């Protein structure tokens, strides 16, 4: 199953992707996570991505498409994958179509998590992530049992450098200009479903699993 999880920053893509990984046993491909790993490792890719991420701008399409193409050709993607945070532009979506065609695969479903803009800054600013296993929490909406300690592995939680109000405003305007047009793009292509992301995390997962239970491959 080849799934795209779409939605504005803070909508819950990463949170839901983690649940779908457990359910379907296919990997989550998060371009944001891949860029953050590259920044931490100080690689050439990391150097290219760091400046864009700091301000909330998009990393150039050719860089992003290159890493996705390489990642999707790995053996663990053979049975499918969950794209989280890619594509984010029409050019990226066109490139994804070519990558899928080369791999002999179809798109199974595009799930768009809808959350109104006024909720998104609070979601991002309160987001906390485990340094060790990547589990995502929220100080108010999904707190860990012990403050700053991961329930899953005992690791320490951190806040992303770009999860502040100012960068979020920029990320939201980038979303409106560059990513929102993908809604029409995928509506036209079919296989598009909108999910109400204001529901509790478990409800959102349930709704997604229901949609996915009736898609092909």
Active site residues: 13, 88, 127, 160, 171
| Binding of residue 53 to ligand ADP (CB under 6 A) | yes
| Binding of residue 64 to ligand ADP (CB under 6 A) | yes
Q: DSSP 3-state assignment of 142?
A: strand
d(CA 16, CA 34): 18
CB of 153 to Zn ion, least distance (A): 3
Structure-block tokens of residue 16 = 């839901």
Structure-block tokens of residue 107 = 């798109």
d(CA 47, CA 43): 6
Question: Which residues, 74 to 133, sit near Zn ion by CB under 5 A?
Answer: 130, 132-133
| Binding of residue 186 to ligand ADP (CB under 6 A) | no
Q: Which is nearer to Zn ion, 116 or 154 (CB)?
A: 154
Backbone angles phi, psi at 97, to 5 degrees: -55, -40
Selected binder of ligand ADP within 2, 14, 38, 45 (CB under 6 A): 14
Bridge partners for 196 per DSSP: 114
Rg (CA), the chain: 16
| Binding of residue 9 to ligand ADP (CB under 6 A) | yes
| Binding of residue 88 to ligand ADP (CB under 6 A) | yes
Question: Which residues, 93 to 122, sit near ligand ADP by CB under 6 A?
Answer: none
| Binding of residue 10 to ligand ADP (CB under 6 A) | yes
Which entry of ligand ADP, Zn ion, none binds 133, CB below 5 to 8 A by partner kind?
A: Zn ion
| Binding of residue 134 to ligand ADP (CB under 6 A) | no
List Cβ<8 Å contacts ≥24 apart for 120-123: 120/8, 120/9, 120/10, 120/11, 120/168, 120/172, 121/10, 121/165, 121/168, 121/169, 121/172, 123/10, 123/11, 123/12
How many of the chain's residues bind ligand ADP (CB under 6 A)?
35
Selected binder of Zn ion within 11, 120, 150, 212 (CB under 5 A): 150
* Residue owning tokens 């050709």: 73
Q: Which positions touch ligand ADP (CB under 6 A)?
A: 7, 9-15, 31-32, 35, 52-53, 56-59, 64, 85-86, 88, 92, 123, 126-127, 136-138, 141-142, 171, 197, 200-201, 204
């Amino acid at each position: 199953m080849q799934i795209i999880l779409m939605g504005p920053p803070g909508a819950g893509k990463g949170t839901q992707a983690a649940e779908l990984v457990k359910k379907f046993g296919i990997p989550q491909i998060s371009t944001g996570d891949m860029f953050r790993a590259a920044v931490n490792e100080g690689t050439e890719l990391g150097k290219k991505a760091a400046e864009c991420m700091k301000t909330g701008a998009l990393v150039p399409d050719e860089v992003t498409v290159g890493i996705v193409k390489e990642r999707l050709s790995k053996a663990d993607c053979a049975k499918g994958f969950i794209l989280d945070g890619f594509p984010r532009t029409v050019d990226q979506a066109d490139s994804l179509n070519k990558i899928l065609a080369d791999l002999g695969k179809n798109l199974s479903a595009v799930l768009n998590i809808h959350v109104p803009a006024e909720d998104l800054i609070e979601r991002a600013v309160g987001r906390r992530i485990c340094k060790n296993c990547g589990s995502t929490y929220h100080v108010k909406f999904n707190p860990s049992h012990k403050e700053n300690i991961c329930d899953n592995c005992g690791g320490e939680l951190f806040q992303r450098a770009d999860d502040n109000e100012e960068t979020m405003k920029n990320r939201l305007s980038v979303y409106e200009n560059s990513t929102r047009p993908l809604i029409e793009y995928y509506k036209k292509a079919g296989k598009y479903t909108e999910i109400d992301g204001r529901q509790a995390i478990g409800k959102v997962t349930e709704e997604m699993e229901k949609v996915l239970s009736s898609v092909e491959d």
